[in-house]
Amino acid sequence: MPDSALNNTGLFIGLMSGTSVDGIDAALVRIDDQSIQLEHTYTHSLSTDLTTELHRLSISETFQVDRIGQLHRILGDLFAQASLALIQQCGIAPSKIEAIGSHGQTIRHRPDPTNLAPAFTWQLGDPHTIAQKTSIATVADFRGRDLAASGQAAPLAPLFHSAMLGSKQSGVVLNIGGLANATILNKGQINHGFDTGPGNTLIDAWCRHHLNLAFDKDGEWARSGSIQPALLSHWLCDAYFARTPPKSTGREYFNHDWLTRNSASLNRYKPEDIAATLTELTAVSCAQSIIQNSIAPSNIYVCGGGAHNAFLMERIQVHSGAYQVTTTQALGIAPDWIEAAAFAWLAYARINNQRFDLQRITGSEGDIPLGVIYPA
């Protein structure tokens, strides 16, 4: 980061709609060069029909251009509504907000180019609509510049994790949303930041298929089953787990189709045994990747929806050895709000013209700005 003074400080809003598409998280964060303070939070619900459509879109090989354009505007309007509802609950004027940082809804993430096709990443949620309807400067398209600089364009949250822990601390921040990503910090320096693989996405897909439930509450269904070692070993042979960072992935790779393609016959197992083994897959892939890429054992601070899965947290601890597994609540921010707060902070960084070297996170080249500013 540059040494220039950061003049644009104050209140920022971060918006996040993650891989699980279970709502829009909006966080009001007070930021300056000395502190990051989460002031207020709000979750804007999404209709079941919209969630289902976005899930389908993220893995579909066909789509309608008109509908993509419509969803871009629809989501932009919903992000604006979430921002305004948050502001109203806080009882403050929009003019008091420096900027909104909107991640957008990822519908496809293809970070690895081939001989026939360039890499790309695609997020919906029109920032022009957000800026127009809120009268607040909006920062969006955080991933495009990194991709253009030959990076993976994800994850970006490690930059915030580093700021959150401070300049001298060591530790690991493990975000378990639909996918899981880890930030490995050594005395304030980012050693690595990468996607470890599936977080909740395979578990959730299995729950929807068998229980018609969005997720396995507290991991109780998985706890009732038995982990199947041979099946787990087979899944862990997927080439993604063996790749060295930087690396990133998405729901278009790890989804229910991945599960059926990589399993000879799921019908011979009890559904709860598959749930247990999928939970173990997330736990093992997270723990192993952290151990393989860390210098020494430290605290693992878990955030995201996975932090509420008691069985998953227990299994991560089992496989993490001398590492101590806790949540980001120990750092002062509740696990559910780390990602939204991260995009508030990234908006703060962009408004202040900061540039970042993400070579150890995404593999991109040079110091680059992240995000495009859409004025109020």
Residue 5: band (very low, low, confident or very high) from pLDDT cuts 50, 70, 90:
low
Q: What is the DSSP letter of 218?
A: G
- In the chain, what percentage of residues exceed pLDDT 90? 88
pLDDT at residue number 46: 95
- Whether pLDDT at 4 is above 60: no
C-alpha atoms less than 13 angstroms from C-alpha of 89 in its C-beta half-sphere: 15
**For 269-278, what is each residue's pLDDT tens digit?**
999 999 999 9
Q: What is the DSSP letter of 143?
A: S
**For 116-144, what is each residue's pLDDT tens digit?**
999 999 999 999 999 999 999 999 999 99
Q: Which residues, 6 or more positions from 39, have their beta carbon under 8 angstroms from its beta carbon?
A: 11, 28, 29, 30, 90
* β-bridge pairing 171-176 and 36-44: unpaired
**For 178-192, what is each residue's pLDDT tens digit?**
999 999 999 888 999
pLDDT at residue number 105: 97
pLDDT at residue number 6: 62
- Of residues 167, 196, 166, 191, the one with CA closest to residue 302: 196
pLDDT, greater one: 34 or 245 = 245
**For 312-347, what is each residue's pLDDT tens digit?**
999 999 999 999 999 999 998 999 999 999 999 999
User: Where do the H-state alpha helices sit in the chain?
Assistant: 48-59, 65-90, 127-134, 144-148, 157-165, 201-211, 220-223, 229-235, 239-242, 256-261, 271-293, 310-319, 338-351
Question: What is the pLDDT averaged over residues 7-12?
Answer: 88
C-alpha atoms less than 13 angstroms from C-alpha of 339 in its C-beta half-sphere: 29
Residues 141 and 292: their CA atoms lie apart, in Å, by: 32
Question: What is the pLDDT averaged over residues 229-255?
Answer: 96
pLDDT at residue number 265: 82
- Whether pLDDT at 304 is above 70: yes
Residues 46 and 292: their CA atoms lie apart, in Å, by: 38
Averaged pLDDT score across all residues of the chain: 94
pLDDT at residue number 112: 95
pLDDT at residue number 336: 96
* Cα distances (angstroms) measured from residue 14 to each of 189, 274, 325: 24, 36, 26
Structural domains of the chain ordered from first start: 10-152+367-374 (3.30.420.40), 158-331 (3.30.420.40)
- Whether pLDDT at 108 is above 70: yes
- Whether pLDDT at 90 is above 60: yes
- Whether pLDDT at 155 is above 80: yes
Sort 283 into a burial class: Cβ within 10 Å, 0-12 / 13-18 / 19+: buried
pLDDT at residue number 188: 83
Least-confidence region, from 3-12, 174-183, 213-222, 296-305: 3-12
pLDDT, greater one: 3 or 209 = 209
Question: What is the pLDDT averaged over residues 78-98?
Answer: 97
Strand partners, 373: 139
- Whether pLDDT at 1 is above 80: no
Alpha carbon 280 to its chain's center: 20
pLDDT at residue number 34: 87
Sort 292 into a burial class: Cβ within 10 Å, 0-12 / 13-18 / 19+: exposed
Residue 2: band (very low, low, confident or very high) from pLDDT cuts 50, 70, 90:
very low
Is 176 in contact with 344 (CB distance < 8 Å)? Answer: no
Q: Report the alpha-carbon angle 354-357-358, nearest 5.
A: 115
- Whether pLDDT at 366 is above 80: yes
Q: How many CB atoms lie within 10 A of CB 187?
A: 12
Residues 222 and 168: their CA atoms lie apart, in Å, by: 38
- Whether pLDDT at 296 is above 90: no
Q: How many CB atoms lie within 10 A of CB 23?
A: 17
